[in-house]
Amino acid sequence: MSEGTSLVVETSENDDGTEFSADDSGTIDEMPMLEDTILSRQTSVNLVPFIGQRFVSQDAAYEFYCSFAKQCGFSIRRHRTRGKDGVGRGITRRDFTCHRGGYPQMKPSEDGKLQRNRRSSRCGCPAYMRIVKKADFDVPEWRITGFSNIHNHELLKSNQVRLLPAYCSISADDKSRICMFAKAGMSVRQMLRLMELEKGVKLGCLPFTEIDVRNFLHSFRNINRDNDAIDLLTMCKSTKDNDPNFRYEFKIDAHNRLEHIAWSYASSTQLYEDYGDAVVFDTTHRLDAYDMLFGIWVGVDNHGMNCFFGCVLLKDESMDSFSWALKTFLGFMKGKAPKTILTDQNMWLKDAVSIELPITKHAFCIWPIIAKFSDWFSVQLGSKYDNWKAEFHRLYNLSGVDEFEVGWSDMINAYGLHGNKHIISLYALRTYWALPFLRSHLFAGMTSASQAESIRAFIQRILSSQSQLDRFVEQVALVVDYKDLAGTKQKMQHKLQKSISKRGLRLNHMPLQFLHHMRFVSSKESLF
């Protein structure tokens, strides 16, 4: 693309079918188009955002646009949203803008007069990318519906853009390396030099600086893992003394440090006795402050409410760690194994389940797998992606195994997916995720997208407090009590509605004053 050529693309519809425009309310209405615009250095960018491009989440879209912006010579920030979390469908649209978009706000001075914040670099840059939430087969995706890469300011060179605050970040892998180096007694400068050699970058060209590393290491000084582990075990012992039905187990490593710990509550064992035939074991989250894997066992009662069965903190993802967790969980539940268990597609966990739960039917939750499809197949299939996804969904919902096998072969031939590593892996593991192979087993509705989302929301409430280990266990207890209370409330409302519906014909002939009394009682009961 030559200099002076504009790159502004918009779609005509949003997620509700209404028209979009670049200055639509709630988007970039403060960014006028100027004649002296400057085009980004498109020729140096391999992946340019395009209309219809799909992402698994807002964060995935942000990371992609951030990488694009870094190559062009600017950074980005999150701008406006449409929709609110917790209301209706939640956030349905998001705009990302150039870091110089918008204008600096006027601030009042001591004498009451407004004055401009002269430190601001904002100059009304109109560059942006807009994404809108769509839902295919109950799986949400984010698609680009608007994109402009025109700037009204000079763009930075590669050796300058990396110093922008947005790009001075340390990845999870780099954090692990830094922690390992710190334990080995290396200085910060030695760490940086070694990482430069490992990554093959020039001196001083890492995506973070010496100050960033020092700040990162400083953030861990207030965390004393050994003392926190002692406090956690002391708290568990105290809870056990007050409640003999509270259960916990832990493992100490060769250096006398806490390696694994699992716990469950009295209410959990009773719920498992009633609803433990089908279990979800989610191991996709971490306790970041302590770099430990967080696993949780969840089920569903006959009202569709989540049941907490237990949780575990593990030092790593390995078959030995998962085996310890599963054996401990069975011990909590008096040796009773679930009939079915749903997990993420984790091969170490798959091997552990086959050893520790040999008679339990193991399946993979389909929704995390489908969420990866846009990354796996959208580029290769292009305009055929939507049709392929519809065909996959049809095959997934078939009743017969033979029909599935024939349909799968036809799908591969029709879309030219021979040799695709993801297709090969999916087919090899088809007995773990495809419904034709699972219909004879009970999963209590936990294969649905709505139930998976409910479980994720439950886990996020637990992970909202990670300051100290003993406080984290307290947070779990609070969330479990909250869920128990919510479940009791729903059951009471369900019984009341069922009772009223059975007496519906008789209520139509009752005096008006009695009906008013029934409404009053119903509203009072709904408070509990």
| Predicted confidence (pLDDT) per residue in 337-366, tens digit | 999 999 988 889 999 999 999 999 999 988
Q: Which domain holds residue 185?
A: 172-223
**Residue 17 forms part of a structural domain:** no
**Residue 417 forms part of a structural domain:** no
Given this model, what pLDDT does residue 129 score?
A: 93
Q: How confident is the model at residue 402 (pLDDT cuts 50, 70, 90)?
A: very high
Q: Are 148 and 128 part of one and the same domain?
A: yes
Task: Please give the average per-residue pLDDT across 196-202, as a whole number.
Answer: 82
Domain total of the chain? 2
N-terminal to C-terminal alpha carbon distance within the chain: 64
Structure tokens at 308: 């907490």
Q: Considering only 14-18, 186-190, 288-292, which range has the smallest mean pLDDT?
A: 14-18
Cα–Cα distance, 384 to 388 (Å, whole number):
6
> Is it the case that residue 271 has pLDDT exceeding 60?
yes
> Is it the case that residue 327 has pLDDT exceeding 90?
yes
**Residue 133 forms part of a structural domain:** yes
Q: How confident is the model at residue 429 (pLDDT cuts 50, 70, 90)?
A: very high
Measured between alpha carbons, how far is residue 480 from residues 120, 308, 332, 464, 486 in Å? Answer: 46, 7, 17, 14, 10
**Residue 349 forms part of a structural domain:** no
Q: Are 190 and 95 part of one and the same domain?
A: no
**Residue 128 forms part of a structural domain:** yes
Strands 139-148 and 150-151: unpaired
Averaged pLDDT score across all residues of the chain: 74
Q: Are 96 and 153 part of one and the same domain?
A: yes
Given this model, what pLDDT does residue 458 score?
A: 75
Nearest alpha-carbon partner for 50 in 411, 382, 305: 382
CA 306 to chain centre: 18
Q: How confident is the model at residue 22 (pLDDT cuts 50, 70, 90)?
A: very low
Q: Are 62 and 155 part of one and the same domain?
A: yes
Q: Are 202 and 157 part of one and the same domain?
A: no
**In 124-277, which ranges are E strands?**
128-136, 139-148, 150-151, 247-252, 258-264
Given this model, what pLDDT does residue 138 score?
A: 58
Q: Are 141 and 210 part of one and the same domain?
A: no
